[in-house]
Chains A and B, each alone.
Chain A
Amino acid sequence: MAGSHRSGTRAGRWLLIGVTVLFFAVFLFAPLVVVFSSALQKGFGYCLAALADPETVAAVRLTLLTTCIAVPVNTLFGLCAGWAIAKYEFPGKSLLKTVIALPFSVSPVIAGLMFVLVYGSGGWIGPWLEAHHIRVIFAVPGIILTTLFVTLPLAAHELIAVLEAQGREEEEAAWTLGATGRQIFCKITLPKIKWGLFYGVILSTARTMGEFGAVSVVSGHIRGLTNTLPLHIEVLYNQYDTVAAFSAATLLALIALATLAAKAALERRTERRRDRPAPAQATSGREEWTWA
């Protein structure tokens, strides 16, 4: 009985492992291999030449510009929102906590359309912007704004969770000890949340660089001007320029892999900190008392 039971478990175990590995191979590993092999099918030199194409370089530059603006802004906003939500009580707090996740639940295409409706020539403030010769839609500002919107909750979500879990006792303790607001933030809060902060930055960087749907709606696809890297890849692919498309795609794939590696390293680090064994003295229930 016991033996058959055990062998049944073993069969189940191999089945589960088999399905998981197969799934990984088909849906994750194979596409990644295809990206790299397609990029390199005409040789390494051709791949590099494709990347050096002025329009690709412009796309990379625009993506980097967007990232350099969106990630710091989102991180700063995340810190403010996290601090406000975790440390203060105010009316509408729970509403704010719900609304902050809105960009997660709205389809990116809808997000893009929303921006067109607000800033586009037929939109709410579009005519006013046009009168002042400010182009938002089908221009770089629109790309940055929509990217900001779509990636807004990433850092904030992470930081709200960390800050809420920390509570505010340590900050209060520092306050009673005479620390100023800046000292409290730099010496107490920041060291506590730094890994959460880093994690949030990594996530929003990855998402900012890869954003397609929302940006696609507002960009206007002007080659060399308003095409970000993901949009440029689509253009190349639609022109049957597979090697160039996949060469550009390797850039995004490499960024994704680097993000993953950073995230894994981070998780291993926090786990090690948590598992750091406490000395026997601290774990024993009874303390050593020598008050004589």
Chain B
Amino acid sequence: MGVTLRSVWKTYKRTAVLQDVDLDLPTGKLVALLGPSGSGKTTLLRILAGLEVPDHGAVLFDGEDVTRRPPGVRRAGMVFQHYALFGHMTVFDNVAFGLRVLPLKNRPLPWEIDTKVRELIHRVRLDALESRYPSQLSGGQQQRVALARALAVDPRILLLDEPFAALDAKVRVELRRWLREFQRELGITTVFVTHDQEEATDIADLVVVVNQGRIEQVGSPSEIYERPASAFVFEFIGRSNVLPLNAREGKWAHDLLSRVLPDSVSSSETVRAYVRPHEIDVHRLRDRGTAVKAVVERVHPHGAVVRLVAREAGGEHRWEAEISRDRYEALKVNIGDTVYLEFRSVTIFTPHRKVVHSWTLDPVREEFQQPQRG
């Protein structure tokens, strides 16, 4: 089922939590609502569920206006962050709940309910546990009960609030891959909320980046990473170095900017420039004028890559560079060594445009207008 939000606004106690949100979610996709805490992503999910009603705007399910329809009627299955299982009911009764509260004329017969509940419990692999109480289950098991319970009413859309936040790291990765497969099998439009960019980019078809009640960007995980639409998205997705743009500490960056963007340097508070750690080359000797001289402070090996943290010589600014292990071994750098950092490309955001300045290719400028805000 396709979901559309049309200029949705929501305010709590005079704070605008959502501001003019427009969103189109295609049928059958796994969508991540990604943003920092307090960005409004959970409110967005609760509006989709029908637990909150927007102050303005509309929620459409397959083109049908469901804005003011209560949650049960719009058939949105919800899995809560802390699962919200019914503590006084067994796993079986939890899953059967949605069927047992149906109006008598629509309610399946008891044996039909039994069959359906057993099948769902089997699908989420909890067969042996159907007569346990929620307090006797682990976090991952509770979550699968919550999932089966939500699916029992044949929801048109499945909504998950921070589904993996309460699990330990190892289970988290396994469970999210499993959810990915499970969602493909079901083919049901699924939206989950997360603050973890790795989680979002790992399993989602579509990532919706939310910040301060607005949508920053909607795109596939690779689009979000490779073509971030705003400084916020650039910083939020993946690692990045911020270039110091004040004339004193970041003189070379300031000079660079005045060459690339002569018109906006004067207002450097609104300009942000970044370098990804993997776009920094590390050399023992200076071979280009723009290289930054720095002293290695820490070395973190991470599998096939090594992360170096180096402090700019004569300054306080720290840079993180990511180089291959082969390169690291060829360089033979140790803590305290002086190195030269060369940037392959710098991404600059002004309030209205984005410029990528690259040294390895011909200095290419890729510019586009950012979406206009409010």
Contacts and interface: CB of A to CB of B under 8 A. Distances in A.
A176, A183, A191 — most chain B CB neighbours (10 Å): A176
Given A192-B87, A278-B135, A178 B102 contact: yes
B77 A176 contact: yes
Nearest to A192: B88
A178 B88 contact: no
Interface in B138-188: 138, 140-141, 146, 149-150, 152-153, 168, 170-171, 174, 178
A105 B176 CA distance: 54
B125 interface: yes
Contact of B86 (A175, A188, A276): A188
Interface stretch (A7-15, A56-64, A259-267, A283-291): A283-291
B50 A178 contact: no
B72 to A, nearest CB: 3
A173 B171 CA distance: 24
A177 B135 CA distance: 21
A201 B101 CA distance: 29
Contact of B97 (A174, A191, A286, A290): A174
Interface in A8-45: none
Interface in B246-268: none
Contacts of B78: 172-173, 176
Contacts of A174: 86, 97, 101
A180 B87 contact: no
A27 to B, nearest CB: 40
Interface string A124-152: 00000000000000000000000000000
A276 B133 CA distance: 11
A282 B101 contact: no
B267 to A, nearest CB: 42
B76 A176 contact: yes
Interface string A248-292: 000000000000000000000000000010110110111101110
Nearest to A175: B71
A176 B170 CA distance: 30
Interface in B167-225: 168, 170-171, 174, 178
A169 B82 CA distance: 8
Contact of B150 (A176, A188, A287): A176
A169 B85 CA distance: 9
Contacts of B98: 177-178
A279 B84 CA distance: 21
B88 A175 contact: no
A100 to B, nearest CB: 23
Interface string A166-203: 00011011111111100100011001100000000000
B137 interface: yes
Nearest to B168: A285
Contacts of B168: 285
B174 A289 contact: yes
Contacts, number: 87
Interface in B76-98: 76-78, 80, 82, 84-88, 97-98
Contacts of B80: 169, 172-173
A177 B138 contact: no
Given A282-B137, A282-B138, A176 B72 contact: yes
Contacts of A175: 51, 70-72
A276, A287, A290 — most chain B CB neighbours (10 Å): A287
B84 A172 contact: yes
A175 B150 CA distance: 11
Contacts of A276: 135
Contacts of B152: 177
Contact of B88 (A180, A191, A287): A191
Given A286-B170, A289-B174, A291-B174, A178 B72 contact: yes
Interface string B225-256: 00000000000000000000000000000000
Nearest to A170: B84
Given A172-B51, A172-B80, A187-B101, A177 B153 contact: yes
Given A173-B80, A192-B88, A287-B171, A179 B138 contact: no
Interface in A217-247: none
A176 B46 CA distance: 10
Interface string B34-69: 000000000000000111000000000000000000
Contacts of B361: none
Nearest to A183: B101
A191 B84 CA distance: 15
B304 interface: no
Nearest to B167: A287
Contacts of B77: 176
A177 B70 CA distance: 10
Nearest to A168: B84
A176 B87 contact: no
A282 B129 CA distance: 11
A282 B132 CA distance: 11
Contacts of B88: 191-192
Nearest to A191: B88
Contacts of A180: 101
A175 B74 CA distance: 11
Given A170-B86, A278-B136, A282-B137, 8 more contacts: A173-B84, A176-B72, A177-B101, A191-B88, A282-B135, A282-B138, A287-B171, A289-B171
Q: Which 5 pairs show the lowest CB-CB distances between chains A and B?
A: A178-B72, A177-B98, A169-B84, A173-B84, A176-B71
10 contacts: A173-B78, A174-B97, A175-B70, A176-B51, A177-B101, A177-B152, A179-B101, A187-B101, A282-B137, A287-B138
